């Protein structure tokens, strides 16, 4: 892992389009992503636009310190 280049970074949001994935596969995506990225918000889209919109509105879009 490279040392951080900047003091802070924009918050990262990853959206998994998982309408046709099993719960286990969706959880595997979350686990692998969190293992390789710090300070990331992961949202799972199951095809419900209102639910995804609500989840996006709940995310705080601040800057984070440390490594990505």
Considering its fold, how many domains does the chain have in total? Answer: 1
- Compute the distance between CA of residue 67 and CA of residue 4 in angstroms, rounded to an integer: 5
49 domain-assigned: yes
40 domain-assigned: yes
**What's residue 66's pLDDT?**
63
3 domain-assigned: no
- Compute the distance between CA of residue 41 and CA of residue 48 in angstroms, rounded to an integer: 18
**What's residue 25's pLDDT?**
93
Q: Which residues have C-beta within 8 Å of that of residue 68, sequence separation ≥ 6?
A: 4, 9, 12, 37, 38, 39, 40
**What's residue 67's pLDDT?**
59
User: pLDDT, tens digit, for every residue of 8-65?
Assistant: 888 889 999 988 889 999 999 999 998 988 778 999 999 999 999 999 999 888 887 7
55 domain-assigned: yes
List b or e across 43-52, with b for residues whose CB sees 16 or more CB atoms inside 10 angstroms.
bbbeeeeeeb
Q: Which domain holds residue 39?
A: 8-65
2 domain-assigned: no
Q: Which two tokens stand for residue 4?
A: 């951080």
43 domain-assigned: yes
pLDDT at 68 > cutoff 70: no
**What's residue 22's pLDDT?**
93
């Amino acid at each position: 892992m490279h040392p951080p280049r900047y003091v802070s970074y924009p918050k990262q949001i990853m959206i998994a389009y998982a309408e046709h994935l099993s719960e286990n596969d969706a959880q595997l995506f979350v686990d692998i992503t969190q293992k390789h990225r710090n300070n990331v918000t992961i949202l799972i889209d199951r095809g419900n636009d209102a639910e995804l919109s609500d989840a996006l509105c709940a995310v705080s879009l601040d800057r984070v310190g440390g490594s990505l």
